[in-house]
Amino acid sequence: MTRLRCFLIGCLVLAVSGTGRADAQNHRTTITVPYAVQVGQNVLQPGEYVIRMPEMSGAQNLVEILTADEKTVVATVQGVSIFRQRVTSTTEFWFWKTPRGKPRVVRAWFYPGEESGVEIVRGSH
């Protein structure tokens, strides 16, 4: 029960932090990461980032994570489509269970108002 509660709180903290700005065309979203999280093979340290689906990509589920000023691509990861039962009006992230003391590992990203999202392929970079 405690792990589930921590998982849900972690999702809410990151999701609420990501509600700042969003762009429907490329799903551009500014997020504030309050603690270290792993996306693919990359660990994001606490701070502000931009997450988006690149326009030039023919791959529908390619995700880029950039620095807040959008000058540096921190990570590019491949994903697959995933669906959720409850659509929210905020950005939502799901996490895999991780050992205490290790960075949380992002499982999926959902753009506000959409039923489908992107599940990060494990081992992608």
Q: What pLDDT, on a 0 to 100 scale, did the predictor assign at position 56?
A: 63
Q: What is the DSSP letter of 24?
A: T
In a domain, 93, yes or no: yes
Instruction: Please tell me the predicted confidence (pLDDT) of residue 103.
Output: 95
Residue 125 lies in a domain: no
Indicate the DSSP class of residue 101. T
- Answer yes or no: is 76 within a domain: yes
> What's the domain range around 18?
2-120
Tell me the torsion sign for CA atoms 64, 68, 71, 74.
Answer: negative
| pLDDT tens-digit series, residues 23-80 | 667 889 999 999 999 999 999 999 999 999 887 655 568 899 999 999 999 999 999 9
pLDDT above 60 (res 120): yes
The pLDDT, as a whole number, for residue 61 is 81
Task: Tell me how many domains the chain contains.
Answer: 1
pLDDT value at residue 117: 92
Task: Tell me the CA distances in angstroms from 27 to 7, 32, 56, 100, one per residue in order.
Answer: 24, 16, 13, 31
Start-to-end C-alpha separation, the chain:
32
Q: Three-state SS for 49?
A: strand
